[in-house]
Structure 1
Amino acid sequence: MSVLGYSDIISGPLAQYLQISAQIGGDVSQHSALVRDAFNAQFQFVQLASESSQPSNNDLMNLLGPTSEKIRQIQDYREKHRTSPYFNHLSAISESIPALGWVTISPAPSPYVKEMNDAGQFYTNRVLKEWKEKDKKHFDWAKAWVQTLSDLQAFVKQHHTTGLVWSGKGAPPKGGAPPPPGCPPPPPVLDLSSMGGAGDAGLDRSALFAEINRGENVTKGLKKVTSDMQTHKNPTLRQGPAPFKTSAASSVSAGRPAQVDKPPSFVRDGKKWMIEYQKGNNNLLVENAEMNNVVYLFKCENSTVQIRGKINSITLDSCKKTSVVFDSLVSSMEFINCQSVQMQVLGKVPTISIDKTDGCQIYLSSESLDVDIISSKSSEMNVMVPKGDGDYTELPIPEQYRTKINSKKTLTTEIVENKG
C-alpha cells in the first residue's frame, strides 16, 4: 500500500506539475526534469523499504545517495540561474524540495514535509502575484506543486507515521542504488482446506443449528439467581472492591514516558543551523550565514539568539522565554508551540507566522511596517511599532472575533475588542 500510495503522487499532482512545467518551458521545464528524477529515485527507495528489513546506518546513507544528489542538483540549478525570468519558480522548488528528506526524520516526519512546503510558499506567492494577470498556466503550476507536497505529507502521515517503515522480510539491502520498481506480487490464495472440513466439531454448522433449535431446553443448563445474589435486595454487593490506587511514581509515568533532557546542541547542517535544547544561554550567535540559510530553534529556554546577515527564514519550535534578534529575512519568521517568546528585526521581514503560541512580543523596525502577520490558535500577542524617537507603541493582535450569517447566507467575521 505504501508503494501504491507513492505511485499515486507521481501519476497525480506531480504529473500535472511536470506537464505544466513543459508548457511554460525554459528553465522551469529543465528544472522540473530534475524534480522528476528526484521523486523517481525516492519511489525506488520506498519500494526497497517495503521489500527489505532495515539496513545499517552506513548502508542507509548510501541508499539515499541518488535522492540526495538530485536534491543537490535542483538547488544548484537555482543558484546558477539567478538572472532567470523564472527565478521565483526555481526558488519555490529549491526551498521546498528538501521535503524528500522525510525518510530520515523520526518520530514525526509528516510535520517536516509541511514545514518544507511552507518554506517554499513565499516564492509560490510571488509567482501567483507576478503571473496572476499574465498567464493562468503559472497559477496552475504553483497549485500543482503545492498539492504535490500536500499529498506527500498525507502519504507520510498515513503510511510512515512515526518514521520510514521497513516492512519487508528480506535481507537488509547494502549500499548502492536500489533496484528498479517491479510489479507487486499477487495476493496469496486462501487455503480453505486448512480451516477444517465438514466433520470438524469446531466448524460443524449442523451442530450449531441443532443447539439453537433445542427451544426451551437451551436454558436448562443456566444457574438460577437467588435473592441473596441480587444487588437491589443485598446492599453489601453494591460496594464492590476498593478502587485501585497507583503510586505517585507510576502515575507520573502513566500514558507517556518521562521526558529526558538532551544535551544542548548548536550545529550547522548544510544550509540549516540547528540550535536545540539550549537553556539559560544568552550568548548564542549565528554569523557568516548566507541568504539561503535557515535557522531552526527547538526546545530552547531562557536563551537569546543573535543572527547577523540576511538569511532565508527562522523558526522557533517549542521554545520558552527565548528571544531572537536578526537583521533581515528573505522569507518568514515562524513561532510554533512556543511560550513567552520575543523577536526583534533590525532590517526587513516579509512575513511573521504565529501558531499555537502563548505570549509573543514582536519588535519591528521602520523597514518592516508592511509585514504580514499571520496568527492562529495563539494568545497574548503584541506588536511593538517604532515611534522614531527610540520608543515603541504597543499594539495587541486581536484574539476574539464575532461571526454572523449575512443576507447572502455566507459568514461575516469582525474583530471583538476587549474593553476589560
Structure 2
Amino acid sequence: MSVNGYQDLVQGPLRAYLQLSQQIGGDVATQANLVNAAFQAQSRYIQLAATKAKPSQAEEMQLLTPTSEQISAIQQYREKNRASQFFNHLSAISESIPALGWVAVAPAPAPYVKEMNDAGQFYTNRVLKDWKEKDKTHVEWCRAWVQLLSDLQAYVKQFHTTGLVWSGKGSAGAPPPPPPGGLPPPPPVLPDVDFSNLSLDDRSALFAEINRGEAITSSLRKVTPDMQTHKNPTLRQGPAPFKATSAAGHKPLPQPGAGQLDKPPVFTRDGKKWLIEYQKGNSNLVVENADMNNVVYMFRCRDSALTVRGKVNGVVLDSCTKCAVVFDNLVSSIEFVNCQSVQMQVLGKVPTVSIDKTDGCQIYLSPESLDVEIVSSKSSEMNVLIPKANGDYTEHAIPEQFKTVLNKPAGLTTTPVENKG
C-alpha cells in the first residue's frame, strides 16, 4: 500500500509539475529533471523499506545517499544560476525540496513536509506576482508544485505517521545477529521487607532532631587551616572539567554571513553577472560601465562597501556581514539573503527591496523611490529611512511581529503589531 501510494504521487502531481516545467522550459525544465530524479530515488528507497528490515544507522545513511545527492544538486543548480530570469522559480524548488528528507524524520514527518512547503511559498508568491499577468502557465506551475508537496504530506501522514515504516522482513544489509541467550532474563526479585514495624509516628525522631536548636551542629567536623583551599593550593589541583565533544559527523549549523574567508577575494564580470566574493575590509568596491541587463552578486563579504554606478537589472547580497551598497538605479530589485548588519542607499529609483533571513538592514531611500515595495521574510531589525526636505531622514521600523485572528467565514486576518517600546 505504501509503495502504491507513492507511485500514485509520482504518476499524478509530480507528472503535472514536470509537464508544466517543460512548457516553461529553460532553467525551470533543467531543474525539474533533477527534481524527478530525486523523487525516483526516494521511490526506490520506499520500495526497499517495504521489503527489508530497518538497517543500522550507518547503512541507512548510505541508502539515503542517492536522494540526498539529488537534493544537493537541485540547490546547487539554483546557486549557480542566480542571474536567471527564473531565479524565483529555482528558489521555490530549492527552498522546499528538503521535504524529501521526511524519511529520516521521526516521530512527526508530516509536519516537517508542511514546514518545507511553507518555506518555498515565499518564492512561489513572488512568481505569482511577476507572472500572473504575463503567462498563466507560471501560475499553474506554482499551484502544481505546492499541490505536489501537499499530497506528499498527506501520503506521509497516512502511511508513515510516526516515521518511515520498514517491513521487518529480510534485511537491508548483513543479517542481524540472533539474540544472545534467547529471552532476556527476568527482572530481579525485590527483597522481602517487613514493613509491619514501621509507623508514621517514626517521623517524630526527625522533628526531635530539628528541635535541638544550635546543638544540631555539634556533630559537624571543623574545617582546619590545612583543609582550606586558599591556604593549601594543592587541594585545587583536581581532574580537568568535562568538556562535551560534538558527535562525529555532526557539523554546526551555518550562521548568516558566516563562513571562512580564507578563499581569495573575487571581483570579476562573467557575462551579464558581476561576481564580488570573499571581500574583507574593502570599502572601495566599484561597479561601473555595466549594462542595464547586468546583475551584481555580492557573496560572503565582510566590512566592505560597494558602489554601483549607472543602471543595472538587480543587486544581490548573499551571506554578507557589515556591508553597505550604494547604487543609482535598478530595473528590478535589490535582495538581501542570509545577511547581518547591512545597509543600502538608492540615489535614483528602485522598484523592490527583498529581505530574507537577514538580521539588521538599513534602507535609505531617495525621493524618487518612495513608492518602493519592501518584501521581508524571517528577518529582524529592519528600518526604512525616508528623506526630509532639510536633507535629514525619518526612520521607520518594519514590523517583525504579527497578530492573526480568525475572521469568520472568510478565514484569517493578519495585521502587524506596532512596537511601541
Give TM-score, length-normalised by structure 1.
0.51
Residue matched to 1:416: 418
SS of match in other structure, 1:202: coil
Whole-Å separation in 1 of the counterparts to 2:372 and 2:315: 15
Residue matched to 1:124: 128
Larger deviation, residues 276-285 vs 328-337: 328-337
- Paired residues for 1:1-80 under 5 Å: 11=11, 13-17=13-17, 21=20, 30-32=23-25, 35-36=28-29, 39-40=32-33, 43=36
For the 8 Å contact 1:279–1:301, the answer to whether it is kept is: yes
SS of match in other structure, 1:331: strand
Q: Deviation per CA, 1:264-287, whole angstroms, max 9, x where unpaired?
A: 422445554443332210121234
* Matched positions, count: 309
Give TM-score, length-normalised by structure 2.
0.51
The alignment yields a C-alpha RMSD, in angstroms, of 6.0
- Paired residues for 1:155-170 under 5 Å: none
The residue type equivalent to 2:130 in the other structure is R
Where do 5+ consecutive residues of structure 2 fail to align?
Answer: 46-61, 63-68, 96-116, 154-166, 193-205, 207-219, 222-236, 253-257
Q: Deviation per CA, 1:63-105, whole angstroms, max 9, x where unpaired?
A: x9xx98xx99xx7xxxxxxxxxxxxxxx4x4663488899xxx
SS of match in other structure, 2:181: helix
Residue matched to 2:365: 364
Compared CA separation, residues 297 and 187, structure 1 to 2 (3 A): farther
Identity fraction in percent: 41
The residue type equivalent to 1:263 in the other structure is K
The residue type equivalent to 2:170 in the other structure is V
Compared CA separation, residues 272 and 356, structure 1 to 2 (3 A): same
Residue matched to 1:96: 89
- 2:345 maps to 1:344: yes
The residue type equivalent to 2:305 in the other structure is T
For the 8 Å contact 1:265–1:274, the answer to whether it is kept is: no
For the 8 Å contact 2:285–2:306, the answer to whether it is kept is: yes
Q: Deviation per CA, 1:213-265, whole angstroms, max 9, x where unpaired?
A: xxxx94579xxxxxxxxxx9xx99xxxxx997549xx7999996897442342
Residue matched to 1:202: 181
Compared CA separation, residues 393 and 145, structure 1 to 2 (3 A): farther
Q: Deviation per CA, 1:183-209, whole angstroms, max 9, x where unpaired?
A: xxx99835999865xxx971258xx5x
Compared CA separation, residues 118 and 273, structure 1 to 2 (3 A): farther
Residue matched to 2:170: 189
Residue matched to 1:239: none
For the 8 Å contact 2:265–2:279, the answer to whether it is kept is: yes
Whole-Å separation in 1 of the counterparts to 2:330 and 2:26: 30
Compared CA separation, residues 333 and 188, structure 1 to 2 (3 A): same
Shift of 1:33: 8.9
The residue type equivalent to 1:319 in the other structure is C
Where do 5+ consecutive residues of structure 1 fail to align?
Answer: 22-27, 54-59, 76-90, 103-112, 155-185, 222-231, 237-241
Compared CA separation, residues 202 and 412, structure 1 to 2 (3 A): same
Whole-Å separation in 1 of the counterparts to 2:400 and 2:92: 35
SS of match in other structure, 2:371: coil
